[in-house]
Amino acid sequence: MKIVPGAICEAGTSRVNKTGGWRTFKPVYDYDKCIKCKLCELLCPDSSVRPKEDGYFEFDYNYCKGCGICANECPKSAITMVLEEK
Amino acid sequence: MKSISLLAPGHRGCAGCCDAMAAKFTLMGAGEDCIVVSPTGCLEVMTTPYPETSWDVPWIHSLFENASAVASGIEAALKALGKQGPKIIAMGGDGATMDIGLQALSGAFERGHNFTYVCIDNEAYMNTGVQRSAGTPYGASTTTSPAGKVSLGNPRLKKNMPAIMVAHGSPYVATTSLAYPKDMIAKVKKATEIEGPTYIHCHAPCTTGWGFDTSKTVEVARMAVQTGLWPLYEVEDGKVTKVRKIGNNKRPVDEYLKMQRRFKHLFTMEGGAEEIAKIQAIADKNIEEFGL
Amino acid sequence: MAYDMKMDKHKMVVVEGSYAVAHAVKTCRPNVISAYPITPQTHIVEDLSQFMADGEIPNCEYINVESEFSALSALVGSSAVGARSYSATTSQGLELMHEVLFNVAGMRMPIVMTVANRAVSAPINIWNDQQDSISQRDTGWIQLYAENTQEISDMTAQAFKISEDKDIMMPCMTCMDGFILSHVYEPLVLLEQDITDEFLPPFRPDRILDPRNPMTFGAFADPNFYTEFRYQQEQAMQNALKKIEDVASEFYDMYGRHFGGLIDEYRTEDADIIIMAMGSIIGTIKDVIDRLREKNVRIGLLKVRAFRPFPAQAIMNVVRDAKVVVVLDKNISLGMNAGALFIETKSVLYNTDIHVPVIGYMIGQGGRDIPMSTIEKIIADAEEVMRSGIRTESQFTDLKEELI
């Protein structure tokens, strides 16, 4: 790559950095409990909660750092933080 | 499906990062037709290691103390070039806003530039390792105001930024919290739509600097609001117009303080109870003043 | 190449130097001007302010910033959006901008700023010397020094053209001696609008802050990248060496006026003694040279017009066959007991086959007057050096022993 004078970057290029490798625990949904309140998507600091076609959500494990905010805040305890097995 | 967030993943913010959340909510309130200026700090460093950037909107970083001046220049230039339209947002931390950047902020507001300033207040200079700032609250332990044998931690009260910005004649000043994201998004939207210099002060609990589990960012923020330590209100043209009442959710400050490592010493030191009582008095004063 | 100046007397007016600069700035069609007052730059920003108030600068906004730090910082923002940006300052104001100067250069913003050279505090002193701009020589700003008010006016248009060149994109300081040039009234030709509109095309940077094509400006560069960014800045400075010459030539072709490119020479062809200097002192030196030439002293003047990039080759070409070089500096690098032009001239000659003795005089500090007699005394020292070698390499001039 050639550097751009002034250290100017194209938008959104941090997506190459897959921060999923950071986590120890990963969030898992129990869709039976989920009421589609969208709070998890709203709160995620790493934009790692994606809506699905059916209105539920899924995690983007490429980037999820396993902070656990979604699990902590879910009003229906529909998200559990599970120790990630390697 | 398009993401709701204009802050891309891949940034180097800690797990549970308050700055990332504050930036995300701000951009949701502003929309993609904006230009963002950030001073030096966690937000800037974690989002822009060359050649990567997490910003999906136009963004510029110059120096630590001049975000408001840079924003002023952008605003003037867009006007001069007949390109007005994009919302101009300056977004930075408490150190950059309340200490080193205060002059530029004051100047920009005095001149009445049409932009919104969002202060992400995690109550210390976090990026450099948790040093005390004008935003550090009474009794908090930071690396330059540590609790010690003869010290209770930070002995000063938080600088009252909303009041300072109201005194500049800003048409809209509001406090927000990460625990109330929809409220913040609405306030940012409102601030960016009002003509003139508007100010948002966001309470942003920092998992690393304050010492709590990464999953508790929102919980700690909520607790701060429920104790009365972080009142949520709007000031329009100098008058407090909307206040979020605590009602039955009122909590004593102990419950907030004991969630955080930075206040732990207050529970073990001699005279700690008196110090906690002083913090309770701050909360009580807010509750009375704002009718929480 | 000889440049015959085409000065049309009918176009000349008698105006204050500051007014000429303000008029030139106006003529260059700036989009954002930021201004913080500081003696002796104030008349420039005041005149610009009056032009604004009278609607004479279209598509322009004028920001009354609350400090010089913000003055230049605001231009970072405006330049990033594609606005042609200008400010003026001096001395304490320039020092206050120190951090931003590096920042602007690193962000490759072609901002032009007039520096009305003034001494630096402490002790506080509002009169002319060149310590202020000289102390900023490492920041990555192109630095040009003007001899008279016509030149500083013309230089303003040249500065924008040089800076905004796609192979340069570095900011430029145009330096004029405070009070001596800013507050003097001289006859000159004000910068012509019709010619300038042709000479200076609109500012169109390749990348700007624009929601339609979002980009990030001012990312941080870790050790893997930082060196290469600095290298690019140096390359731009090297490109500027030729560009400064070319722009001066183009300016002559279009306006009929030329004051030198990187340097200018006066009666150097057969000179044994070459005297080097920057700024308004050039005028005095030319008078001294004429006087001495009548007495058959073989003396010539090397006017240094561009201090950054440093015109090493140009200087070497002129001093190569001289017997002594005398450098006048309106500044001092404390701890070196020498001025910057002297230090840098000596340094570029060191590794070459040019072994001409170089002596330096720190002069005119804090606005101390420089009469012709002072220069003549210095020349007498130089003649002594030709005869018996260097006795004192660098020294203060006109030091009042009785005060210390």
Which pLDDT does position C217 carry in this prediction? 98
Give the gap in angstroms from C-alpha A76 to the nearest C-alpha of chain B. Answer: 15
Question: Does any CB of chain C come closer than 8 Å to the CB of residue A16?
Answer: no
> pTM score > 0.95 for this model?
yes
CB–CB of C336/C370 below 8 Å? no
Q: Which of residues 81-100 of C touch B (CB under 8 A)?
A: 81-83, 85, 99-100
Q: Which residues pair with C302 in a beta bridge?
A: C265, C276
Distance CA B178, CA B219 (A): 9
CA distance A64 to A73: 16
Q: Are B292 and B228 in contact (CB under 8 A)?
A: yes
3-state secondary structure of B65: coil
* CA atoms of C196 and C24, how far apart (whole Å): 9
The interface predicted TM-score (ipTM) is 0.97
Q: What is the pLDDT of residues C47-56, one digit of tens each?
A: 999 999 999 9
Give the distance between the most distant pair of CA atoms in chain B: 63
pLDDT digits (tens, 9 = 90+) for A22-59: 999 999 999 999 999 999 999 999 999 999 999 999 99
Task: Provide the pLDDT for residue C4.
Answer: 85
Compute the nearest-CA separation of B23 from chain C (Å): 15
Which candidate from C216, C225, C236 shows the least CB-CB separation from A8? C216
Q: Is the Cβ of B17 closer than 8 Å to some Cβ of chain A? A: yes
Nearest CA in chain A to C222: A7
Looking at every residue in chain A, the average pLDDT score rounds to 96
Give the closest-approach CA distance of C113 to chain A in angstroms.
Answer: 19
CA distance A52 to A58: 7
Task: Nearest by CB to B73, from C69, C74, C103: name it.
Answer: C74
pLDDT tens sequence across C196-228: 999 999 999 999 999 999 999 999 999 999 999
* pLDDT, mean over chain B: 97
**Does residue C84 come out as left (phi exceeding 0), alpha (psi in the -120 to 50 range) or beta?**
beta
According to the model, what pLDDT value does residue C2 have?
65
Residues C172-186: what's their mean pLDDT? 98
**At residue C233, does pLDDT exceed 90?**
yes
B-C Cβ pairs (cutoff 8 Å, strict): 163
Cα separations in angstroms, C247 against B157, C44, C151, C195, C199: 58, 24, 14, 14, 9
Assess contact for C190 and C23: CB atoms under 8 A.
yes
**Shortest CA distance to B24 belongs to which of B134, B176, B163?**
B176
Two structure tokens written together for B139 = 């009794």
- What is the pLDDT at residue C8? 85
pLDDT for position B68: 98
Calculate ∠ Cα A35-A36-A42, nearest 5°: 130
Reported as a single tens digit per residue, the pLDDT across C68-105 is 999 999 999 999 999 999 999 999 999 999 999 999 99
Q: Are strands C324-329 and C273-277 parallel, antiparallel or unpaired?
A: parallel
Which partners does chain B have (≥3 C-beta pairs < 8 Å)?
A, C
Contact A69 B54 (CB under 8 A): no
- The conformation of residue C220, written as its DSSP 8-state character, comes to B
Helix (H, G, I), strand (E, B) or coil at B137: coil
pLDDT tens, residue by residue, C113-122: 999 999 999 9
C59, C67, C75 ranked by CB distance to B103: nearest: C67
pLDDT in tens, B148-197: 999 999 999 999 999 999 999 999 999 999 999 999 999 999 999 999 99
Q: What is the dihedral of CA C236, C242, C243, C249, to 10 degrees?
A: 170
- Minimal CA–CA distance to C28: which of C176, C182, C146, C159? C159
pLDDT digits (tens, 9 = 90+) for B10-29: 999 999 999 999 999 999 99
Whether residue C63 has pLDDT greater than 80: yes
User: What is the per-residue pLDDT across C5-21, written as a single tens digit (0 to 9) for each?
Assistant: 888 889 999 999 999 99
| Alpha helices (H) along chain A | 39-43, 69-73
Query: Is residue C1's pLDDT more than 60?
Result: no
Q: Which residue is listed with tokens 């920057």? A: C278
Put simply, whether B165 touches A (Cβ < 8 Å) is no
Q: In the structure encoding, which two tokens stand for residue B134, read together? A: 């004008």
A 10 A CB-CB count for B23 gives 31
In chain A, how many H helices and how many E strands? 2, 5
Q: Which one of C215, C225, C236 has the shortest CB-CB distance to A8?
A: C215
Q: Are strands A79-83 and A25-29 parallel, antiparallel or unpaired?
A: antiparallel
- Region for B153 from its dihedrals, namely left if φ exceeds 0, alpha if ψ lies in -120 to 50, beta otherwise: left
